[in-house]
């Protein structure tokens, strides 16, 4: 492809040639007018007639040259404007893609941080829960031993041991109220942290999906012709857009 400087140089050269052609045509027409006035009352010599014929031929050639150059310039301005428009559209889409990638990376970072914080909270809370459960089991074991020591028959001892093993946290609160309260508070705190982190992760995922859908809709609405880097290496024509839209199952814009 020609650079902008080369295009400007070619345009200036073309304007110079057209100017010289117009000036030559004007001079020849003026010369013909003078000769016609000179030989108004008598016929020109054969040599003068030959010169006039050559003059007329040259004027016709100059007029044809000027017309062809002007048509060629108009034909070249169309593809050049199309290429410049495609370059601008490609640049705009590149900027939009970079912005979308930055937003997606930010959303991915937020989601990863939320997952890391959730894992950290679980790792921090689970050992404490295990310790409390172990202490609760030990407390339950002592309670079972005391209950078994106060029974008078073997059948009664078996019933008490069975009921002690299936006792609930609420039933054991009479023997260990502090332990039960600590376990309840810790469980409440853990549930609150987990709910908050899950909500943050859900919000981040929803935001990411909304941004992706919005960008896809914007690009679909702005797209009027399939864009490819090949368009800047190969000639641009209406047939290329028509064939591109035909492959996509659509119709080329008017």
- pLDDT tens-place string over residues 240-253: 455 544 554 444 44
What pTM was estimated for this model as a whole? Answer: 0.30
pLDDT in tens, 100-118: 888 888 888 888 888 888 7
Place 63 in a pLDDT band, splitting at 50, 70 and 90. confident
Cα Rg of the chain, angstroms: 46
What pLDDT shows up at residue 162? 41
Domains of the chain, by residue range, sit at 4-223, 224-254
Share of the chain above pLDDT 70, in %: 54
Is pLDDT above 80 for 81? Answer: no
Per-residue pLDDT tens digits for 116-173: 887 787 788 778 777 777 777 777 665 545 444 444 444 444 444 444 443 444 444 4
Q: Look at 249 and 211; give whichever has higher pLDDT.
A: 211
Token pair recorded at residue 109:
């970072």
> Tokens representing 235?
């000639």
CB burial of 29-60 (b: ≥16 within 10 Å; e: otherwise) equals eeeeeebeeeeeeeeeeeeeeeebeebeeebe
Segment of 69-83, 183-197, 230-244 carrying the highest mean pLDDT: 183-197
């Amino acid at each position: 492809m020609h650079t902008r400087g080369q295009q400007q140089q070619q345009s200036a050269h073309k304007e110079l040639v057209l100017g010289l052609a117009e000036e030559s045509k004007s001079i020849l027409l003026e010369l013909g007018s003078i000769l016609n006035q000179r030989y108004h009352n008598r016929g020109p010599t054969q040599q003068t007639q030959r010169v006039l014929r050559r003059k007329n031929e040259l004027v016709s050639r100059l007029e044809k040259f000027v017309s062809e150059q002007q048509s060629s310039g108009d034909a070249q301005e169309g593809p050049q404007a199309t290429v410049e428009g495609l370059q601008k559209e490609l640049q705009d889409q590149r900027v939009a893609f970079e912005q979308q990638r930055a937003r997606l990376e930010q959303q991915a970072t937020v989601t990863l941080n939320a997952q890391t914080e959730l894992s950290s909270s679980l790792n921090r809370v689970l050992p404490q829960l295990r310790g409390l459960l172990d202490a609760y089991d030990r407390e339950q074991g002592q309670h079972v031993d005391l209950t078994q020591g106060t029974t008078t028959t073997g059948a009664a001892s078996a019933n008490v041991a069975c009921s002690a093993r299936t006792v609930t946290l609420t039933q054991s609160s009479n023997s260990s109220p502090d332990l039960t309260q600590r376990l309840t508070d810790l469980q409440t705190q853990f549930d609150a942290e987990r709910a908050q982190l899950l909500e943050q992760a859900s919000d981040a995922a929803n935001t990411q999906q909304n941004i992706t859908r919005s960008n896809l809709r914007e690009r679909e609405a702005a797209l009027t012709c399939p864009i490819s880097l090949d368009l800047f290496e190969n000639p641009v024509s209406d047939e290329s857009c028509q064939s591109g839209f035909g492959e996509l199952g659509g119709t080329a814009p008017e």
